[in-house]
A and B are shown apart, each in its own frame.
Chain A
């Protein structure tokens, strides 16, 4: 095992190492995750960043053990030293109800449309034998904490009467109610307006810090992830390609994909022709035997197409690239007029 997976001191709250996942598609197992390794310390925030099909959401499904029938995993997923994949039904129920909470992109799909906000919030507490009065008081107090001032009125309303931003705050309150140790937020603000996103992220960040919650934050937005997490893991085609401190990822990114992703994002402060990573994001099952990014990488060599690089320590990053040392600080993406049209997206197999 790599040394970075065993830092000195206490065990991390979450340790995922060399996770592999196959899911049956029309009876055939299909690779969804190749090699996912990361750790989240107690109270630490980790961003899982990637484009569609990178496996970031599937990784959280493994963390919650919400997998389709016939899914096969390999590698370790440990929560506080206990294997999540090995939990029996009772342990799993306890883990899901009191250790982890999850916030999804679309709160409307995660809340019962025919029960009130109040009923939704107090349900779990009532189940845990908390009195109705106390459950309601706790729910109202939490709604106020997430910036909902007229909480008693909101408690009597139904989900359709609330805006997306307000409903997402209800979901944050709900996630805090059971006092979990880990919060998983899967693109929680992607469907929201940018000003609402700022509010919701600020509230999420504040609640998490106050309670010392660990966070796994899934997003496609590197800048957003950098603002609210301590470390970022960049995923592509079911593989973690790079892990680094969020604070200076822009300056220190080592993997050609990370650098490319940073260069493709249109800036609000400056106009230049964007450097576009050629091709389209591939899914894990389409990747060849070598580096999963090799066919889109402008720096790929023969070895990259045949030999899959493992995640290893370079500087204070973990990076899965054969040429990381050699390319360090030398990856510049020149904007070439016709060049980016020459190698455009390849067709997706059906």
Chain B
């Protein structure tokens, strides 16, 4: 099987400053994580807060440098995070990221069209007409109309802002889109629209998704494969349907059993005074 993205024994350790009553030390955020993602595939990294899933995404995006281990794209190792301008631009054309809250990742003073156009201008030697054409095409692709394209983020609803963020991320035709809790903040009815949109866009463009999520229902809809993380380590990996239908690891089982569903009753596990 060909491979777009490969992670080998990835590890990230953060230094921890001394705090009241606690000495300085180290926090192992990601510990020995390996997986591969084929071109056009969709892989979900599932976990709760503190599992290391976002740190994995940030390392793949080049926003953090791994302490050790390797990240490859098309079999080629990724450059260090502090790469030169040219290398950063090249990386931007390969990998783009969509965050949970587009309100903080879009420029409040810029219209959606202007934000996309600026990106195209920075990367391609196109004339204004060609850029305008591409902006219109992108907006149509994510289901935004002309008026919404000319609006600032403040004037759009949460779902529309997320569409705008997706349009901007797709502008450079990346091979990999990292979606970090990209539908988590949306209302249920709007979330369903964006999930469907993401499925359509992958079918149309062949972009691959690295989908970071805590929501097992969303993960099932959007990914082919999944990796379950707990305290920095991968506890289970495989086809999403297999992992969710027949979980082997106790933590995966625990996670699945905690999801509210028809007939579900919340249960108290251990009395925990330990988890501060």
List chain A positions with a Cβ less than 8 A from chain B.
51-52, 147-151, 153-154, 161-163, 165-166, 193-199, 201-203, 205-206, 220-221, 223-224, 226-228, 250, 260-261, 264-271, 273-278, 280-281, 340-341, 344-345, 347-348, 350
Contacts and interface: CB of A to CB of B under 8 A. Distances in A.
B192 A345 contact: no
B138 to A, nearest CB: 15
B143 interface: yes
Interface in B196-222: 196-197, 199-200, 214-218, 220-221
Contacts of B255: 194-195
Contact of A266 (B190, B192, B241, B267): B192
B266 A228 contact: yes
Given A161-B276, A265-B217, A345-B193, A195 B256 contact: no
A345 B155 contact: no
Contacts of A281: 187, 189-190
B258 interface: yes
Interface in B131-185: 143, 147-148, 151, 154-160
B84 interface: no
Contacts of A150: 273
A202 B217 CA distance: 21
Contacts of B257: 198
A193 to B, nearest CB: 4
A166 B189 contact: no
21 contacts: A52-B187, A147-B271, A147-B272, A149-B272, A149-B273, A163-B276, A193-B49, A194-B255, A195-B269, A197-B266, A198-B257, A198-B258, A198-B269, A202-B268, A228-B266, A264-B189, A265-B188, A267-B261, A268-B256, A280-B160, A281-B189
A350 B155 contact: yes
Contacts of B188: 51, 220, 261, 264-265
Contacts of B245: 269
B187 A51 contact: yes
B87 interface: no
- Interface residue range, chain B: 35 or more
Interface in B238-276: 241, 244-245, 254-262, 264-269, 271-273, 275-276
B205 to A, nearest CB: 15
Contacts of A147: 268, 271-272
Nearest to A335: B196
B268 A206 contact: yes
Contacts of A350: 154-155
A268 B217 contact: yes
A280 B159 CA distance: 8
B191 interface: yes
Contacts of A264: 188-189, 191-192
A270 to B, nearest CB: 8
A142 to B, nearest CB: 14
B258 A345 contact: no
| Interface residues of chain B: helix, strand, loop or mixed (majority) | helix
Contacts of B189: 51, 260-261, 264, 276-277, 280-281
A275 B188 CA distance: 11
A148 B273 contact: yes
A344 B266 contact: no
Interface of B: 48-49, 143, 147-148, 151, 154-160, 187-193, 195-197, 199-200, 214-218, 220-221, 241, 244-245, 254-262, 264-269, 271-273, 275-276
B48 A193 contact: yes
A278 to B, nearest CB: 8
A193 B214 contact: yes
A260 B188 CA distance: 10
Contact of A276 (B196, B217, B254): B196
Contacts of B244: 268-269
Contact of B260 (A153, A223, A280): A223
B241 A345 contact: no
A199 B257 CA distance: 12
Contacts of A196: 48
Contacts of B159: 280, 345
Which residue, B48, B156, B196, has most C-beta atoms of chain A within 10 A? B196
Contacts of B241: 271
A192 to B, nearest CB: 9
A271 B193 CA distance: 15
A48 to B, nearest CB: 15
Contact of B262 (A205, A221, A223, A260): A223
A280 B192 contact: no
Nearest to B241: A271
A223 B264 CA distance: 8
Contacts of B218: 266
A287 to B, nearest CB: 16
